[in-house]
Chains A and B, each alone.
Chain A
């Protein structure tokens, strides 16, 4: 099973700043199989990025994804107040799916 490790656990930033979230896989995974989600309290996860770098429908272009192999990054170019939430990376391997433990993005 591929284990995803996200860092940092908590990121404290101010609106307008740039956020960089990391997701590392325990072994190489295809970029096609890496996705990012945003989750706000009491809500279901929302797909942001699929295939490591493709924005899902309706996702603002301040969200971008990159990476390959074992290291993937989610970047939010200029934080808006509604972006403060928990972010998860997810991968698919051999008909199974795993998630990272999440990065909490909080207002500084």
Chain B
């Protein structure tokens, strides 16, 4: 069974870059068919899909996102990462990584990590 674990700093200053990593266990990130996703949930709010990277390296991002983001994959470490540049207080949220072999829903999730943007 695939397991995911987010890691990264819990506090980021405004205008800096938020960087998070999702470590995958119980499966290879480069094995066929999986979509590796990032989500976030603002405090007390609903879920927002940020984007995914396919095992081939193809990425797709939420066109409604205001924040510039990059998702990348490191097969040698069995990890994938999220970078959000020029963060503001609006980027304060719990960030989740999740994966699926179906492109339509998400069945494996990390536990989530809270990132606060504050000086």
Q: Mark A residues whose CB is within 8 Å of B.
A: 1, 32-33, 35, 37, 43-47, 50-51, 56-57, 88, 90, 92, 95-102
Main SS class of interface, B:
loop
In this complex, the member of A44, A57, A95, A96 whose beta carbon has the largest number of chain B beta carbons within 10 angstroms is: A44
Q: Is the CB of B46 within 8 A of A99?
A: yes
Question: Number of contacting residues on B, CB 8 A?
Answer: 20
Segment of B8-16, B20-28, B80-88, B102-110 in the binding face: B102-110
Shortest Cβ gap from B33 to chain A (Å):
16
Q: Judging by beta carbons under 8 Å apart, are A96 and B96 in contact?
A: no
- Whether B63 pairs with A96 at a CB distance below 8 angstroms is yes
Contact of A97 among B46, B49, B107, B112 (CB under 8 A): B49
CB of B111 within 8 A of CB of A101, answer no
State whether A35 and B47 are in contact (beta carbons under 8 Å apart), knowing that A43-B111, A44-B110, A45-B109 are contacts in the complex.
no
